[in-house]
Amino acid sequence: MRRLLAQALKSAGDFPAAAPRPLRAALWFFLALAAAFLIFPDGWLYPQDVVSLNSVSLHYTSHGRPLFHMLSPVSRNSMPLLSVASLMAGNTTWPEVQALWALLSLLLCAAGYSLGCLLSGRPAGVAAAAALFAGQISPWLFFDIEQRFNCLMLALVANALALTLFSPAARRLIEGCAIGASFLARSLLCWLPAALAALELAAWKTSWKRSLAGAALILVVPFLFLVPWITFGPGDAAGLRIFDGRAEWNMVTGALGKVSTFEGDYRALAGITQGDNAALWVAKRIMTHPREYAAGVAKRTWFLLSPHALLVLFWLVPAVFLRRDPAFSRVNLLCAYLLAVNLAFSSEERYLTAILPLLAAAGAAGFLSLGAGGGDARGEGVLVFAGAAVLPAALVVFCMALLIRHPGAAPGHEKAAALERAVAAAPGISWLRWESGRLKLLAGDYSGAYRELGKAAVLAPHDIYIKTDLAAAALLKNRKKGRPSGGADLITRITPRETEWNKDVTGKNYILRALYALDAGKRPLAAASMRLALAERDKGIYFKRSGDASEEKSLKTRDTMLLDRTFPELLTYFPTELQNSLCPELVALYGREAGAARAGLCEGVLALSADFRRNYLGPAPGSGRGPDSAWALPQAAQPAPRAAAAAGGPDGRYPRALLDRCLALSSANKKEQALQACQSAVYAAAAHTGGEPAAMAELGSDASLESYRLFKALGRGEEAEETLFWAVQNAPASWPKLAEARKLLEGTKSR
């Protein structure tokens, strides 16, 4: 019976026998595509709702843009590969995201087909491709961009493990490269090289030299891919980091015996101080509380696998029978490893979404393994695998190149210049407009911030973070112009209480409402907004299982994210005097601390606000001044990068020559060219890294005052006023023309 079935499958794989091999291969691949589409049509269409679009724009593209445009800081809270891949989604409109989604689906189908061909032949390839999409069908799990990308990387690793046509050394090298590439996406496979090396060493009796060489390759090659990431040093990185550190969260709660993950401060839950090593704490905890940990693993096994018992059995049955097959044993080791990692530490249902399709594909190929691939089936599988791996491999190389070429942390003036260049080169990118608007907000250029953030909101109309910052710019712009209530309508329209896309668990939009209400003297409205912010934040702190309710309540009472992050970040946008007046009232409304504890909170919030500003902007080099440094120019005073380069370059060597050029062009009535030279002089003086900081500060003030006169002569009154205001605010006390500038500024206010 088994022989007849094998012969039938082989005959099916050779159909149509009369067709040339390339045509036959193409027909079978298109059959795999059709099967994958028919099994799960929704797997080829991305949801057309802004919640799903937000998941791309807020979490992925915002991490990739700084890396791509060589801006700083770059987040190290997640590995960079998906963020770089998401850049093709542009402003994350639905057509752009759909294009990325369709490409991932095509590559995923190809990887499934090649895996089946490598393991069992063409019929198994079609079955594996279909099973890979069938494994995505779930009534309670959404297979989003991140999970689809991770599934693709795992499928490519499985393909590498299934290769049998090359020498052992070549296969180990390919496996190492595939695992190393996956490291740049997630740290999930960090222990797989050790497991594969152990498998190699277990066969040492056959050839100990080959076993040692294979083990060495599989242990070393994957981690070479992390060298650019390890040596990459953005401003928010501290010390040596091999991965992104996100696994610590689940390791700590898993060691405590918790079944599921949670949202909150895991160090506070476990009593780990910031200086303690979390991995060492986990090891000690497991050794000292083995029963608690084992009970957690047992409960987690039931919690995660019971809903998918049939699928797990579908994979496990052929895996047992094929345990001696070289290709199947390595692929099944990968599947077993993925399950074990999720069962060992705190997990949740969605963690399996990238793993279940792979189990389904391996199971389908396993059941059809009687139809051996034969002469050209495995070779065809290698070709399809190579085709599916071309784009991911190019993406990995590109990502590593971005990490290598990134200059790392940059001072504020350099960051501003780099951002201006990036916006000029790519004006249609919403993230760049948003970042430019935030810089202008922090620099006090509220009109410029409003313009930039407005353009960003048009490009990405679903992004709540952009809209919240736009509302802040509207409020501060109108307040500066004497219309404090002018931003009220915009705030309520931009940050509505209930919308389908409002998933901001930080409560930032409600805190902005509270700040507006406090500034307007509407304390009851401010109190109501604060209650909404606290409720929104509390909804974001939870365990996935009701049995952990007591710890959840304790975490909520100890959560300080609003104080540590949201309050300081928003207050940083406000002028210093307004920060000092609003902060005590905001902290009083917070109300989770009392008496002496509350008295010191405002001081801490303001200190964090100053740190946020300093870390984000950086001090002006050579200026000797604080966060309101000379580089932070308003829109009117910012030199255009190209103009600055044409006038001598913004490197600080020619500030006096630039100012002389400005005055000469002004005398010749060439006001536009004179203005460009004056702007470049302001910038060059601020960027000057040599000696004479006081003289350079005075020269910059002279250039700013001349820029004011030129703006006024050109009929650009608002820009003239902003430039004069900036000049007075940032001028050193020793500047001889300070009194004159103050008198001119008073004259503009009286009009």
Per-residue pLDDT reduced to its tens digit, 71-119: 876 667 788 999 999 888 777 778 888 899 999 999 999 999 999 999 9
256 inside domain = no
- The reply to whether 30 and 125 lie within a common domain is yes
- The reply to whether 71 and 183 lie within a common domain is yes
pTM: 0.74
- The reply to whether 383 and 473 lie within a common domain is no
255 inside domain = no
SS3 46: coil
Last residue of one domain, picked from the residues 495, 515, 550: 495
CA atoms within 13 A on the CB side of 540: 19
How much is the average pLDDT of 214-231? Answer: 93
In this structure, what CATH number is given to the domain that contains residue 721? Answer: 1.25.40.10
Judging by beta carbons within 10 Å of its beta carbon (0-12, 13-18, 19+), is residue 596 exposed, middle or buried? exposed
Last residue of one domain, picked from the residues 495, 527, 557: 495
DSSP 650: S
Q: Tokens in use for 726?
A: 């900036």
Residue that is written with structure tokens 């007849």 in the block: 4
DSSP 244: -
Say what the pLDDT of residue 19 is.
Answer: 65
SS3 347: strand
Q: Tokens in use for 61?
A: 């593209």
Q: How far apart are CA 161 and CA 325, in angstroms?
A: 12
Say what the pLDDT of residue 222 is.
Answer: 97
Confidence of residue 344 (pLDDT cuts 50, 70, 90): very high
- The reply to whether 607 and 727 lie within a common domain is no
Task: Fill in the amino acid letter for 368.
Answer: L
626 inside domain = no
Q: Tokens in use for 339?
A: 């399950």
327 inside domain = yes
- The reply to whether 394 and 430 lie within a common domain is no
Judging by beta carbons within 10 Å of its beta carbon (0-12, 13-18, 19+), is residue 740 exposed, middle or buried? exposed
DSSP 640: P
- The reply to whether 12 and 29 lie within a common domain is yes
User: Does 557 have pLDDT greater than 50?
Assistant: yes
How much is the average pLDDT of 648-664? Answer: 62
Buried-state track 566-592, b at ≥16 Cβ within 10 A, e below 16:
bbbbbbbbbeeebbeebbbbbbbbbeb
Distances in Å between the Cα of 83 and the Cα atoms of 228, 238, 390, 664 are 16, 21, 18, 49
623 inside domain = no
The whole-chain average pLDDT of the chain stands at 79
Buried-state track 464-490, b at ≥16 Cβ within 10 A, e below 16:
bbbbbbbbbbbbbbbbbeeebeebbeb
Say what the pLDDT of residue 631 is.
Answer: 29
Per-residue pLDDT reduced to its tens digit, 10-49: 555 566 666 677 788 888 999 999 999 999 888 888 877 6
627 inside domain = no
- The reply to whether 96 and 216 lie within a common domain is yes
- The reply to whether 398 and 414 lie within a common domain is no
Q: What are the backbone angles phi and psi of residue 543, rounded to the nearest 5°?
A: -95, 155
Last residue of one domain, picked from the residues 589, 618, 647: 618
C-alpha 477: how far from its chain's center? 30
- The reply to whether 308 and 414 lie within a common domain is no
Task: Fill in the amino acid letter for 412.
Answer: G
- Domain with 435 in it: 410-495
Among candidate residues 708, 647, 736, the one with its CA nearest the CA of residue 683: 647
- The reply to whether 652 and 604 lie within a common domain is no
Among candidate residues 739, 740, 735, the one with its CA nearest the CA of residue 630: 735
- The reply to whether 131 and 11 lie within a common domain is yes
- The reply to whether 325 and 355 lie within a common domain is yes
How much is the average pLDDT of 232-256? Answer: 69
How much is the average pLDDT of 374-392? Answer: 86
Alpha-carbon dihedral of residues 179, 183, 188, 192, nearest 10 degrees?
30
233 inside domain = yes
Residue 622 vs residue 497, higher pLDDT: 497
User: Does 303 have pLDDT greater than 50?
Assistant: yes
Per-residue pLDDT reduced to its tens digit, 706-737: 988 888 888 877 778 877 877 887 788 888 88
CA atoms within 13 A on the CB side of 742: 10
Among candidate residues 189, 252, 264, 180, the one with its CA nearest the CA of residue 217: 180
Count the domains in the chain.
Answer: 4
97 inside domain = yes
